[in-house]
Amino acid sequence: MFFWQILLNSLVIGTQVLLLAVPLYLVYSVSKIYHLGLGATAAATAYALYFGLTNDWPLGLSIGLAVIVALAVAGISYWLLEPFARQKNSLYGLLTSFALGLGLEALLAIMFGTDGKFLIRQVLPTFQWGDLYITQPGAWTIIVGVALTVLAVALVQKTPWGRTLRSVAENSFVASSLRINSSLVRLVVLMGASLLAGFVGIMTSLNTALTPQIGFNLVLMAFVALLVGGVSSLKGTVMAAYIVSLVPELLVGLSSGFWDMSANWKMLLVFIIATILLIWRPNGLLTKAQRAVD
C-alpha cells in the first residue's frame, strides 16, 4: 500500500515535469533554443494569481491577471530570444533565457519576499480510495496534464498546424519561401508554452508553498527529461519525464526505515540518473542511431 501511495504522489510530480517538458520541446522545436526562463514564467503566473486572490479580487479576474502576466512574459521572451532564433544562435539564446529567468525570479523575490506563500489556506481537499489518497489539485494535475500532453502530441503530429510547426523546426528558410511566417509561429508557440508553464506553476503552488524558485527545479527536471528522452522525440520526453520523477521519488520514499534519505537528495538522484542515461544513450532513449552525413 505504501508503495502505491508513493507511486501516486510521484505521478503528480512526473506530470508536472511532463507539463513543463512539452512546452520546452515545442519552443526548442521552432527556435532551437532551450528556454530556461519558462520556470520563472510559471512562478510569475502563480504569483499573479496569488496577488489577485490576496487582494480579494474575484477568481475570474485573478485568473485573467495570471493569463495576462503569462502572455506578457511570453512577449518579453519573444523580444529577447527572436534575434538569436533568427541567427540560429542557440547558445546565446540559452544564455539570454537563463538571465531572463534569474532576473524574473529576483524581481519576484523583491516584490513578494522569499518566504513561502499559499494559494489555499485551508487543508487541501482529497480523493480517497481505501488507504490511498490524492489531493484534488494533484488529481487535476494528472488528468489535465495527460489530456494536454495527448493534445500536444496529436496537434504536432496529426494536424496541418503541426506540419507548419515542424516545417519551421526543420528549415525556417524553406518554410519562409512557402509563405509561412516563422516569426509568427515562434511567437504563437512561446505564448502557448508560457500559458502551459503558467498552468504548471499554479497547479504546483496549489500542492506546495509558492516561492520565487518554484519553477527553477521543475524546469531543470523537465530539461533532464528532454535531454534523456531525446530533444527530437516527444514520446521519449514523455517517458523520460516519468522516469526522472518516479525513480528519485520511489528511492527516497522506500528508503525510509533503511537509510532515511531526505527529500533534498532528490536533485542529486536526478543528476546521477541523468549522468547514467546520457552517457548510455546521449541522443535520447527512443532516438535511433543515424548515419552522419557531412
Residues lying near another protein in the complex (CB under 8 A) are found at: 34, 36, 80, 83-84, 87, 89-92, 94-96, 98-100, 102-103, 105-107, 109-110, 113-114, 217, 220, 223-224, 227, 231, 261-262, 264-268, 270-272, 274-275, 278-279, 282
Do residues 225 and 219 touch, judged by C-beta distance below 8 A? no
- CA distances 118 to 11, 173, 202, Å, are 22, 47, 11
Minimum distance from residue 59 beta carbon to another protein (Å): 30
Q: Which lies closer to another protein via its Cβ, residue 116 or residue 282?
A: 282
Minimum distance from residue 87 beta carbon to another protein (Å): 6
Residue 122 DSSP one-character state: S
Minimum distance from residue 5 beta carbon to another protein (Å): 23
Minimum distance from residue 1 beta carbon to another protein (Å): 27
Q: Residue 116 and residue 110: Cα distance in Å, rounded?
A: 14
Residue 118 DSSP one-character state: -
Residue 226 DSSP one-character state: H
Q: Which lies closer to another protein via its Cβ, residue 107 or residue 146?
A: 107
The CA-based angle 19-140-4, given to 5 degrees, is 90
Q: Which lies closer to another protein via its Cβ, residue 122 or residue 264?
A: 264
Q: What dihedral do alpha carbons 148, 125, 108, 13 form, nearest 10°?
A: -50
Do residues 125 and 145 touch, judged by C-beta distance below 8 A? no
Q: Which lies closer to another protein via its Cβ, residue 88 or residue 158?
A: 88
Q: Which lies closer to another protein via its Cβ, residue 63 or residue 81?
A: 81
- Cβ-based burial of 118 (10 A; exposed 0-12, middle 13-18, buried ≥19): middle
Minimum distance from residue 278 beta carbon to another protein (Å): 6
